[in-house]
Amino acid sequence: MAHAPAALSSAPAKSRGPILKMTGISKRFPGVLALEDVHLEVGHAEIHALLGENGAGKSTLLKVLSGAHSADAGEIELYGEPVAFATPHDAQRAGIVTIYQEFTLAPDMTIAENVFIGREPGSKLFISWRRLSEDTRAITDKIGLKRDPMTLVRDLSVAEQQLVEIARALSMRSRLIVMDEPTSALSEAEVANLARIIGTLKSEGLSIIFVTHRLEEVFRLCDRFTVLRDGRYVGSGAVADVTVEAIIRMMVGRDVGALYGERPIPEHGPVALEVEGLTRRRTARDPHAIELVDVSLRAHKGEILGLAGLVGAGRTETARAIFGADRFDHGVIRIDGKEVSFAGPRDAMLHGIGLAPEDRKKQALFLRLAIRTNITIAAQDQISRGWFIDEGREAAVVDEFRRLLSIRMAGPDQLAGLLSGGNQQKVVLARWLALRPKILIVDEPTRGIDIGSKVEVHNLLIDMAKSGIAVIVISSELPEILAVSDRIVTMREGRVTGEIARNDATQEILMSMMTFHDAAGEARVRAS
């Protein structure tokens, strides 16, 4: 049976006060203060938006709330009573269920099994499939999931899987559902449906914490909001009393841009890379892939093109398609004006394209191999005589880039996994620079590296462009996009939504180009 939350029995459901009150929450990770004195208050039957840029501390705060992390300081009160969750299970028993971006469903089990996993009705030994099915249907009907409870989760769309997660939360009699970016993988129609369901839950007295990057949803769905920035509490209030601009200002702050000095926009060289009408559809084999619709862009020699957009906007997918790492359905890629087509990354490399992928550790580095192997693995042609590696030439290449990028390492035989994030990223950049590329795409160049190394990597990117390379930088961090780009293209939901020169762009303008459908034109008008 479902656990009846202990807190519920002692507190009247109609209580007027906040159901959740987090005060003075601090959380320190080795070397970093991730949260400092953060507050969050959620009322009864309230939909509360938790806002902030990537790295603002939202995820950490939610992990503290859900019992996945324990806070170093601060208090959590539920219905006015102090609580402490040691594990996610404790939080669930108290009525707080978190739905993460990555679902935790078992794809090869049925909807019903997933909803009641670990709490199946029946005797100690045997599951009552009839009751399991009936109980599930009672919940799924309420939230408009029109599927047989015996359907395998694998066969559901992302939106339907999300409903299964919600059904599971409801089956646990939860009073507070936390949704971490629930809409980032949904289409417009699916978002509308989710909005309707959230409305239903609210009318039944449930409260919801809603994390999103799409501000229009905040205004459409939410009652109140809280903004975090750099791990600190910035402010909160009623959505009705605030404007989009005000929220964006709270999110991005004013002081970030000061790190980067003024830099003139260089003269454009000739077009090095031209992409026209790049389109990629979902297939049966990959039904949850991010689609690309008619993506066109140009990159000039000697400039840095920033590709901005929210997570899931299709920036990474565009880069991978250009690099030949993923297939696409149609579209033309031209290099120096000549049409090309690549069977794989190797072809793209031979045409002078490099890609430093978004996930350094999973997609770029060989953590258990030596730094020198990591640097020279793509440039074996240069450092070999016949079948054999010429270790002298290899050492020369490694040394050249160690000095050029000031990579701090114990020696070329050190394992790449032992380097700091910043130095790891330099090793990845060195790998591509060793190939003397004409076009270099760098996806999230500074994700997870400290602020000092960030500025260093940014200067490297600027120097690369100065040397004549067409550099494309993809980043979720707007200050970064503004710091390095000469020209910025924004994407949303697999489409290009606008283009703007760096001098005309501000974080506010970019944010609205990235988050609002029709904002691209408007933003350009405002900018001029």
Binding site for another protein (CB under 8 A): 29-32, 34, 54-55, 57-60, 100-102, 180-181, 184-185, 231, 288, 290, 311-312, 323, 325, 344-346, 349, 355, 357-359, 362-369, 373, 377-378, 380, 384, 387-389, 391, 417-421, 431, 447-450
Q: Please state the closest distance from residue 59 (CB atom) to another protein, in A.
A: 5
Q: Cα separation of 405 and 267, whole Å?
A: 25
Collect contacts of 185-188 with beta carbons under 8 A, ≥24 apart: 185/101, 185/158, 185/288, 185/312, 186/158, 186/159, 186/162, 187/159
Q: Please state the closest distance from residue 180 (CB atom) to another protein, in A.
A: 8
Which tokens is 404 given? 């050029």
Give whichever of 43 and 88 is closer to another protein, judged by the CB atom.
88
Give whichever of 70 and 420 is closer to another protein, judged by the CB atom.
420
Q: Please state the closest distance from residue 344 (CB atom) to another protein, in A.
A: 7
Give whichever of 100 and 219 is closer to another protein, judged by the CB atom.
100
Q: Please state the closest distance from residue 322 (CB atom) to another protein, in A.
A: 13
Q: Cα separation of 160 and 187, whole Å?
A: 12
Give whichever of 369 and 404 is closer to another protein, judged by the CB atom.
369
For residue 122, which phi and psi values (nearest 5 degrees)? 135, -170
Q: Please state the closest distance from residue 363 (CB atom) to another protein, in A.
A: 5
Contact 325, 355 (CB under 8 A): yes
Q: Cα separation of 111 and 133, whole Å?
A: 9
Q: Please state the closest distance from residue 262 (CB atom) to another protein, in A.
A: 26
> Around Cβ 336, how many Cβ atoms within 10 Å?
15
Give whichever of 32 and 189 is closer to another protein, judged by the CB atom.
32
Q: Please state the closest distance from residue 169 (CB atom) to another protein, in A.
A: 18
Q: Where are the beta strands (DSSP E) in 230-286?
A: 232-238, 271-280
Give whichever of 109 and 367 is closer to another protein, judged by the CB atom.
367
- Angstrom CA distances, 352 to 273, 318, 335, 465, 469, stand at 10, 17, 9, 14, 10
Contact 452, 420 (CB under 8 A): no
Contact 282, 289 (CB under 8 A): yes
Sequence length of the chain is: 528
Parallel, antiparallel, or unpaired: how do β-strands 495-501 and 487-492 relate?
A: antiparallel
Q: Please state the closest distance from residue 377 (CB atom) to another protein, in A.
A: 5
Q: Cα separation of 242 and 358, whole Å?
A: 35
State the burial class of residue 100 (Cβ atoms within 10 Å of its Cβ: 0-12, 13-18, 19+): middle
Give whichever of 201 and 416 is closer to another protein, judged by the CB atom.
416
Q: Please state the closest distance from residue 58 (CB atom) to another protein, in A.
A: 8
Q: Cα separation of 507 and 358, whole Å?
A: 22
In this structure, which amino acid lies at residue 37? D
Q: Please state the closest distance from residue 161 (CB atom) to another protein, in A.
A: 12
Give whichever of 8 and 378 is closer to another protein, judged by the CB atom.
378
* SS3 letters across 440-467: EEEECCCCCCCHHHHHHHHHHHHHHHHC
Sign of CA dihedral 146, 148, 150, 152: negative
Give whichever of 204 and 286 is closer to another protein, judged by the CB atom.
286
Give whichever of 66 and 171 is closer to another protein, judged by the CB atom.
66
